[in-house]
Every structure is written in C-alpha cells, then in structure tokens.
Amino acid sequence: MPASISVQGVSVEFRAPDGGPLPALGPVTFGLDAGSLVCLVGPSGCGKSTLIRVIAGLQTPDQGKVCLDGEPVTKPSRRVGLMFQDANLMPWRTVIDNIALPLELAGVPAAERREIAMKLLPGLGLADFAGAYPGELSGGMAQRAALGRVLIQRPDALLLDEPFGALDAMTREQVSSDLLALWAQERPTILLVTHDIHEAVRLGDRVLVMSPRPGRIVADIAVPLPRPRRVSDTYQAEFGAIAQAIRQAIENS
C-alpha cells in the first residue's frame, strides 16, 4: 500500500571548514498524501539531496522528524525505494540480473526472481535487453534498469533524487513518461527532485519550491492538470502559467 510521509520541522547542520556550524536545511515541514507524486525544485546546494537522505532514513536530522504512515523514520526501510542520478549498475551483471539484485539479496530463489524481473521489462522498455550488459546500454536504458531495480521491491514510497539529470532532453522526456506509466499502475507515493520546472509540472500533483541554503519550503504549488499528461501539454496556457508561478517562487526565494 502507498505510504503517507510527514516531514515535521526537519533541520540539518554540517560543519564549516573553520569548525563552525553550517546550516544546510530547514526547518522544513510538509506532508505527502499516500499515492501522490510530488516534485521538489530549488537552486543547487539548497539541501534537496540532504532532505531525501533524511526521509530515506540515511541521515538523522539535527531537529525535527520524518514519519512514514505516522511512524518515525529512524533507519532505512524496505518500504522506501531510493534512486539517485547515477544508475550504478554492476557492469558484470546483465540487465535482468541487475534488476533482480534486491530479490537475490532477500533470498528469493533464482527462478522466481527472474520471473518477477522479466514481467517488469516491457514497462521499462527493456523487453529485448534482458541479457545485455550495462556497457551495451544507452544512458536512458541504464536509468530504466536502475528504476526497475527499485520498483522490483514494490516500495510503498519512492524517493528519486534527480534520476534523469544526466540524460539528453529527448531521452529524459521518454524515461519520465515511462515513470508516469509505471506509477499509474502501482501508485507508490513519489517524491521526485528535479531542476527542470517543466518536468515538475508534467509529472507532479504538487511542486514544492525550496529556497537557497539553508533550504526551506517557500512555495507549495498545486498542479490541477488532468492526467494522463503528455509532452505536448507543455505548450498549453494553463501549463505555462503554473511553470511561471514556480519560476517566480524560485526567483523570489
């Protein structure tokens, strides 16, 4: 079942080179409804990746807390999938074996995990590449394989930290469309970090805008556009108005 996420007064500090405190994030407060797809945008260095790590249970906040379905997050959970910008596929493993890796680590028998992984391949656009190695894949195909590796765990929540940032524009559009299609099937709760405002509007139910460091939420903008959404929708007036509101919020932060 998709999970609700609650971020309550979260702040993170690092140490500056001189040993003094370096505020990196917060305080940040917001919630994600179960099954929603929310995008997070903001300037570089504002703490977006730090926030993702805190929500994933990989980093403990200095103040505040994160809850998953009302339960405090204190460590990584199998209910939460995490994907970064780099695909990080194992070069000696085929696509099918890379995708099935989490099930292998969980002790699922080889035949069963292969069957489950094979069912994911068509939706990822990788049906003809089960036996290919990462070195034989394009950047977009590698990211699809990395996404499959997360989705095979059937997480209740999915945290995506700029997963399409290294792709060219056309490939990025296609892979993000694939993500939308897969989300529509399972409806995990998704928080997607992106620098692309149009991508945020095309994918999200809402767009959260962060300020420069220390990052805070300075705008929470609803995207009431009907689904399914297509790339061609970016040329519509209502789409443009939402994108402009997000851009203005970033500029004014």
pLDDT beyond 80 at 141:
yes
Contacts of 231 by beta carbon, 8 Å cutoff, 6+ apart: 173, 177, 202
Tell me the pLDDT tens digit for each residue of 151-188.
888 899 999 998 877 677 787 888 788 888 888 888 99
Enter the pTM of the model. 0.90
Strands (E), 76-181: 80-83, 157-161
pLDDT beyond 90 at 12:
yes
Grade residue 237 by pLDDT with cuts at 50, 70 and 90: very high
Classified as helix, coil or strand, 9 is: strand
pLDDT value for 57? 94
The CA distance from 203 to 85, in Å, is 17
Grade residue 58 by pLDDT with cuts at 50, 70 and 90: very high
Residue 185 contacts residue 108 (beta carbons within 8 Å): no
Q: Helices 110-124 and 169-186 meet at what angle, rounded to 10?
A: 120
User: Which is more confident, 19 or 227?
Assistant: 227
pLDDT value for 160? 93
- For the ranges 109-123, 131-145, 148-162, 168-182, which has the lowest average pLDDT? 168-182
Class of domain 5-252: alpha beta
Grade residue 114 by pLDDT with cuts at 50, 70 and 90: very high
Domain ranges of the chain: 5-252
Average pLDDT score over residue span 221-242: 91
pLDDT value for 32? 97
Q: What is the DSSP letter of 64?
A: E
Classified as helix, coil or strand, 235 is: helix
Residue 151 contacts residue 119 (beta carbons within 8 Å): no
